[in-house]
Chains A and B, each alone.
Chain A
Amino acid sequence: MHTEIRKLLTVICEAQLEPRVIADLERLGAHGYTITDARGKGARGSRNAGWDRSANIRIEVVCEAATATAIAADLRKLYYENFAMILFMSDVEVLRAEKF
């Protein structure tokens, strides 16, 4: 089976940022994304999703390496200073490369 390598970009951030980050992703050329509710603990305290203000989300994007780098740079510039956000990238194998 033929597979190709793409980047999986995972962003974990405050749920309130969702509309903004989605707009950024689309502007920077992501073809799709998946969002799940998340909770956890980090530098900005426990984010236990007990109520609106403490909820996190996890956004996953599979895309080309250049797009992933562009998104990462943008998100870092826009949100790292003032918001709870982490992101990381990894290589994944995909079957239908044209989708991403």
Chain B
Amino acid sequence: MNTLDPVVLFFVLGVLAGLMRSDLRLPSAIYDFVTMLLLLAIGLKGGVELSRQPLVELAPQMLAVVAMGLLLPLLAYPVLHYLGRLQRADAASIAAHYGSVSVGTYAVVAAYLTSQSIPFEEYMPVFVVMLEVPAIVVGIVIARGWAAQHQWGHLAREIFLGKGVVLLTGGLLIGWIAGADGVLPIKALFFDLFKGILALFLLEMGLITVSQLGDLRRSGLFLVGFAVVFPMVAALIGGSLGWVLGLTEGGTVVLATLAASASYIAVPAAMRMAVPEANPSLSLAAALGVTFPFNILLGIPLYHAAVRLILPDGA
């Protein structure tokens, strides 16, 4: 059951090439393009599913997921600040990264479940969007406090108009408006090619992961440990929430993985502007250098096995 998906092997290739200092590099315009396609494809898929069922039915689940997005950084912060002795700004920024989600990790867990023919709630991309933002707000409030933050308007722009949120939400809306039949003409690009695009994306992610290793060496063992242990705790919370919400086996694995993942698109951009004194190389080294590879190589199969233990009948 635990066979490595070929897309994950592309990630491994990227890591190996990076470690051996190959001159391999995805041109940055291509990386941008590949990221755009992934975000849009994920949004479209979720939107099409939304068009099949009333949004009202999902409202309680959405609220619960947002609550989780607020809770995770509040859990992460004290660990980082008191146990890890990180400065307030750094701890708040890292907490925001871990409370938010990684779309790349979502794409991998979706591919993992699909390749094993395990169904999951196709509206999950809605949760991805809902989980992006709350943690950013919590992180900023921890670092700055409510009162001191006089530029919320400016920040809201930064947060909601970042490409990640715009493309995901845009894809969702387009999929929702167009419906299953409406998206047929663009299916070839966004859905049929999805895995190939994901493979290219992961190749570059492998290279990026290796480029974080230098920073990781400087950041100390505590952060490395945090970047492995916290996602597992978060996955437990996400998985339990999925169980409480009555999600399918696949859906529970997705929610656990979303909780475990750490953002590297929306949050770094927002934190850089809102909490500039936080060292961005700490949070990126943890999120990209440790947590992303951990989740896609070991985490997802692990969370899946754990969910199987809880739901032995496959629910």
B288: nearest chain-A partner, CB-CB: A53
Q: What residues on B are CB-neighbors of A44 within 8 Å? A: 281
With A81-B277, A82-B276 as given contacts, are A51 and B214 in contact (CB-CB < 8 Å)?
A: no
CA A54 to CA B212, docked complex, whole Å: 11
Task: Report the minimum CB–CB distance from A52 to chain B (whole Å).
Answer: 8
Task: Report the minimum CB–CB distance from A81 to chain B (whole Å).
Answer: 7
Q: What residues on B are CB-neighbors of A52 within 8 Å? A: 28, 32, 265, 269
Task: Report the minimum CB–CB distance from A83 to chain B (whole Å).
Answer: 6
B269: nearest chain-A partner, CB-CB: A16
From B28, B264, B281, contact of A45 by CB (8 A) = B281
Judged by a CB distance under 8 angstroms, whether A49 is at the interface is yes
Judged by a CB distance under 8 angstroms, whether A50 is at the interface is yes
With A16-B269, A51-B31, A55-B28 as given contacts, are A83 and B276 in contact (CB-CB < 8 Å)?
A: yes
Judged by a CB distance under 8 angstroms, whether B179 is at the interface is no
A48: nearest chain-B partner, CB-CB: B211
Task: Report the minimum CB–CB distance from B215 to chain A (whole Å).
Answer: 7
From A50, A81, A82, A83, contact of B207 by CB (8 A) = A50
B264: nearest chain-A partner, CB-CB: A53
For residues 273 through 296 of chain B, which have their beta carbon under 8 Å from a beta carbon of chain A? 273, 276-277, 280-281, 284
> Which bucket holds chain B's interface residue count?
20 to 34
A45 in contact with B214 (CB, 8 Å): yes
A16 in contact with B273 (CB, 8 Å): yes
Judged by a CB distance under 8 angstroms, whether B52 is at the interface is no
Q: What residues on B are CB-neighbors of A51 within 8 Å? A: 28, 31, 204, 208
Judged by a CB distance under 8 angstroms, whether B268 is at the interface is yes
CA A9 to CA B228, docked complex, whole Å: 45
A50 in contact with B211 (CB, 8 Å): yes
A45 in contact with B277 (CB, 8 Å): no
Q: What residues on A are CB-neighbors of B264 within 8 Å? A: 53
Provide a sorted-by-A list of 14 A–B residue pairs whose CB atoms are within 8 angstroms.
A16-B269, A16-B273, A45-B215, A48-B211, A50-B25, A50-B31, A50-B208, A51-B28, A51-B208, A53-B268, A53-B280, A54-B211, A82-B276, A83-B276
Q: Given known contacts A50-B208, A52-B269, A82-B276, what 5 new A-B pairs fall within 8 Å (CB)?
A: A16-B269, A45-B214, A50-B204, A53-B269, A53-B284
